[in-house]
Chain A
Amino acid sequence: MKEFGGPAAFIDRSDINTDEIIPARYLTEISKAALKPHLLEDLHLEGGFDPQSEEIQNARVLVTRSNFGCGSSREHAVWVLEVNGINVVIAESFARIFRQNMFNCGILAVELAKHDLDRLFKLQGKVHVAVDLDAEQLIASSDNGSSLTCPFSLNPFDKQLIAAGGWLAYADAKY
């Protein structure tokens, strides 16, 4: 099975919508690769946000708050993560369509309890997240030596989708 995890980027805001993840003006693209430069292009954070920052550009894991991916159903919002190498999003909760799109693409949407998420946000320094799918836990370690382990639970069906490499492969084999 695919490995999940890597350097993490933190976005401390709830209700980030898919228009912010990939604006509608790029929906005329008919290839996933063309979305790559536009990751989180319209995201506004108090205190500023730079989608070109090293933290975002190097990220394999995105850590955010609640209701991530609300709004438009556009799967482009998952693809733009995918083509930028992000294979895990960690949040307190997700909008339904976005969460389904993640697993449908064979990548991971992890829901963490609020107190675990708070602890994750408090880690200082550069954070690396390793996901253990079988044990259903993730280990976040900072370059300053601190680390923490958070349990999560994965719906068995979502696990099957990940193992199959996505919903299309799963459904094609089964139905």
Chain B
Amino acid sequence: MGQTITEKIFAAHLRDTPSPGNMVLDIDVIMCHEITTPIAIMDLVEKGMDRVCDPNRIKAVIDHVTPPKDAKTAMQAKIMREWARRHNIKDFFDIGRNGVCHALFPEKGFIRPGNTVIMGDSHTCTHGAFGAFAAGVGTTDLEVGILKGVCAFRTPRSLKVEVSGTMPKGVYAKDIILNIIKQLTVNGGTDKVIEFTGPVVEQMDMASRMTLCNMAVEAGATSGVCMPDLVTAQYLWPFIKDEYDSPESAAKDYRRWHSDPDAVYERVLELDVSRLEPQVTYGYKPDNVKDIGEMAGTPVDQVYIGSCTNGRIEDLRVAAAMTSGKKIADSVRAILVPATPAVYSQALDEGLIKIFMDSGYCVLNPTCGACLGMSSGVLADGDVCASTTNRNFSGRMGKGGMVHLMSPASAAAAAITGVITDPRSYLP
């Protein structure tokens, strides 16, 4: 019987089978941020277990609230900083070099096909875009990961989504994943890995694949994954050029991770995107998804472009092309948050930041900020936000606020008009 990519990665990392159906895996990359890690560190210190399995496998960043907004967040950062120093964790990213974890770590080449990755963050599934098994975990799992380099999972079942057709103008990876979540519902993926395949995914760049995998958890999935190929190898090339002769040879080697043709899936979902409309969420669950036309005209108070879902340079380019030469609506506050310093710097070089600023955007430093309602653009009670983030839970961006999730193109259109708008009318 054939194996899925996830089964292959599990088999290659299996440390123990404590009971049938439960597997303890060796973890290649343990990622940490300052919201869930300090409490793990404090607990380990208190228990006299302040050790790390291997400082090279640990990657750490201060990204959620940075620079700190108050004494408490400053203390969280300080605990991380001192811990990283104490344990000689070289891949630690502090103010000036820090960015949103799921955008920053891929940029640094930390994730490779076939890797196992954990982080105390539910959107860790983003890294599945590289053909890795990447899962969000809680603090205790993170503690054990830091200490022992292992993590336990139930044997994964897989669900395949085959995306075919021609991407219509104005439709992006974000619209595809919102539509998939609508079909799967918020728990349709529970205890499963979603494999994104098909010609449309094969043609996608890494940024789009990350957008897809990023939201797998919104369907309840353990992770999302894409087959590693030449696109993956080209993205990783600066980091792997000592290991392979060419990106082509790397891509050929990565084929060993690909799911076998006779692998078994719990469910196969086929999506032809040719007729897909831009999508938008309503209400407080990420599977509350409609075609944007059905929501058009809904007033918004704030527009937020950023996050681990859609804060990459590709996203900024789309939004900037639509914004160029236009002013944002008087009734709107627009906030742009490039996801990493490299994205910010590239956007400056390309003149995108000026386009946004001339149009009336506030441009922030890379951070999670308002995505989780902790800083930098928190909503007031009754505020409505058009957002490129991944969660529309009640209170997510501020108590009493309403979040409509959408693509960067749709968010940029909303900034111009002040209401939810079909982006196709504004595309250059």
Contacts and interface: CB of A to CB of B under 8 A. Distances in A.
B140 A168 contact: yes
A22 B147 CA distance: 27
Contact of A157 (B47, B65, B152, B186): B152
Interface stretch (B33-41, B86-94, B229-237, B315-323): B33-41
Contacts of A167: 140-141, 144, 152
B13 to A, nearest CB: 13
A78 B137 CA distance: 13
B75 A30 contact: yes
Name which of B121, B140, B222 has the most chain A CB atoms within 10 A of its CB: B140
Given A73-B138, A74-B138, A172-B148, A20 B187 contact: no
B76 interface: yes
B391 interface: yes
B73 interface: yes
B15 interface: yes
Contacts of B38: 30
Interface string B18-45: 1111101000000000011011001000
A100 B19 CA distance: 15
A19 B78 CA distance: 25
Given A24-B372, A30-B42, A73 B399 contact: no
A104 B148 CA distance: 15
A19 B394 contact: yes
Given A20-B395, A71-B122, A71-B391, A95 B42 contact: no
B44 to A, nearest CB: 9
A42 B393 CA distance: 10
Contacts of B372: 24, 72
A84 interface: no
B49 A172 contact: yes
Interface string B51-69: 0000000000000010000
Interface in B219-259: 220, 222
A154 to B, nearest CB: 11
A28 B24 CA distance: 31
Interface in A11-44: 15, 17, 19-20, 23-25, 27-32, 42, 44
Contacts of B35: 27-28, 74
A41 to B, nearest CB: 9
A19 B63 CA distance: 19
B383 to A, nearest CB: 16
A19 B22 contact: no
Contacts of A98: 138
B122 A72 contact: yes
B394 A70 contact: no
A157 B122 contact: no
Interface in B126-155: 136-141, 143-144, 147-148, 150, 152, 154
A175 B16 contact: yes
B31 to A, nearest CB: 12
Given A19-B395, A27-B35, A157-B152, A97 B137 contact: yes
B49 A156 contact: no
A95 B396 contact: no
A172 B220 contact: no
B377 to A, nearest CB: 13
Nearest to B144: A171
A29 B72 contact: yes
B182 to A, nearest CB: 14
Given A20-B393, A73-B36, A157-B152, A95 B141 contact: no
A96 B190 contact: yes
B18 A160 contact: yes
Contacts of B50: none
Contacts of B291: none
Contacts of A73: 36, 120-122, 124, 136-138
A160 to B, nearest CB: 6
Interface of A: 15, 17, 19-20, 23-25, 27-32, 42, 44, 66-67, 70-76, 78, 93, 95-98, 100-101, 104-105, 155-157, 160, 166-168, 171-172, 174-175
15 contacts: A17-B393, A23-B399, A24-B396, A28-B72, A30-B72, A32-B39, A93-B187, A96-B191, A97-B136, A98-B138, A167-B140, A167-B144, A168-B143, A171-B148, A174-B16
Q: Which 3 A-B pairs have the closest CB atoms?
A: A101-B138, A75-B138, A104-B140
Given A27-B36, A74-B36, 19 more contacts: A17-B393, A19-B396, A23-B373, A23-B395, A31-B42, A66-B187, A67-B220, A72-B391, A73-B138, A96-B191, A101-B141, A104-B140, A104-B141, A105-B140, A156-B19, A157-B19, A168-B143, A168-B147, A174-B16
